[in-house]
Structure 1
């Protein structure tokens, strides 16, 4: 599994590697093929494994990929994880859906394991493992395994979506293409290259020091230092998405560290990570899948975080979710630990896009 995670991060910088990642995910989900596409107002960008390539290409060319009632159901379900058709449709509804009747059934397909990833950039990324009708729905065990990969997919997809799935030819060109404040960090954490957007945030948000890139916020910078050390030690458990609390005149932000691994080092030599800053300016409370992807939360922790940010007490959250208050408090404690915050009020401020008190 660790090698697959490495390939996911490699694909963030070398889009050709997405093909191998999708093949591996397809193998886990027992699918005929797997597809990854963006759903946004701009041109649709997509990838598909050989088993689905011709079908997806035809649907895109005819404008039919947007006629996806499964997608509508998934948005309404608002689940921060992988789901199957059995979660989106009642048994009698599934075979009557437009997607199944027009596209899936004629090709022997009928079941999926899919997820929606909504990074703060505004794109909606759809990953779907398509299974044959005769193979039946994906199991809960497989969905759980895929959920373990989802935070890594979310981070890598954030970068890939901004690169528009075109291969980066050089570090500076990649940073310019992204349209986000970003920098390439060397093995020590020192800035090797920085785009103008991040430069404009110096020194208010970041400081380009001799030893490493630093965050001006005193609560966030130790988290960055720990994450960089973890990447140097090749440890995969440290937080790599770091909240930067807002202040007057500045929205909260999140700094993502995307490891540079495998063949990506052929392009970004002597580079430890790509640092990308995304503002949390969504208006309202961030969706659970955004929250989960930003902070490596479990689906349950993401739901608790969103509930608290929406103004619910732990007691009300427990009642709504059908669990004990003690369970909610433990999950809330885990959320605070993973986001690097100490107070519930700071969490609310971060997730609502308002300027919160200090961590």
Structure 2
């Protein structure tokens, strides 16, 4: 087990139990939590764990602030959409689209890195923000290729759609949507373990050294720009693969679903909540954040009805104010867990 985790143990019994519960819940989600909404939530958690972990590889381990991560996420999604539109429904189209999106993301990331990584961190962040905004506008305007603001519907093989029926297991009917979920789950698990291996390799150790003191790392012989460029490319390619899985699961891609700045803000929030520089922080932070996004409004509706006889409280707990309470929860998490939930559980300062 430790070999799979690359020697990076949770280092906390509470964290180990929490990670095990999240893994088991995601692995058996179709059977433990029946219903399309629960399955949608589980799939989104899987995909965003990979997306957030790939960004943490850049920010938490490399110390590189970028606002272009959703651009790479969108490249993977649009790669699958365009490939299926040109090649038709089939697994080769999905593979070609995912590969094309990953390669495109890697090349663009390399270009950005080589042109921009020599500047100060804040200027690099602004450059990536400008490029991501330009790409989002371009995608919206190239309607002949990308579908414009309306986006594109994606045709996937029938075996991955609800119309395909396979049988029944543990009282749950197995259809194509569940098979699609397990495609997402196992691909995301493999990508996460790959990133865990990367950050615990000599390459990952050098990245952390550069994050702590780039001048000292360069003085002892490490080529800082090269390592940062490689980290940027790896992060972008993994984000593109996450985008491909998101497109296959959603069977739709549009500017708002993959390229929106709201998604970038969500990624930043999750990284801070989970803990920067910890792959496990992506798991815990994503699970908490996505569950809050999907169920906090419903929970508040029930609490508002339960306290309807009291003054003022039902108004404060109105489902329309769920974003307010999500913001308060975020502020509290930062205050009580300045190093993130995983950092606090591991006892780091």
For Structure 1 versus Structure 2, the TM-score category normalised by the shorter chain is under 0.3
Q: Which has the higher helix share?
A: 2
With normalisation by structure 1, the TM-score equals 0.24
Does 1 or 2 have the higher relative contact order (CA < 8 Å, sep 6+)?
2
When you count strand as a share of all residues, which structure comes out higher? 1
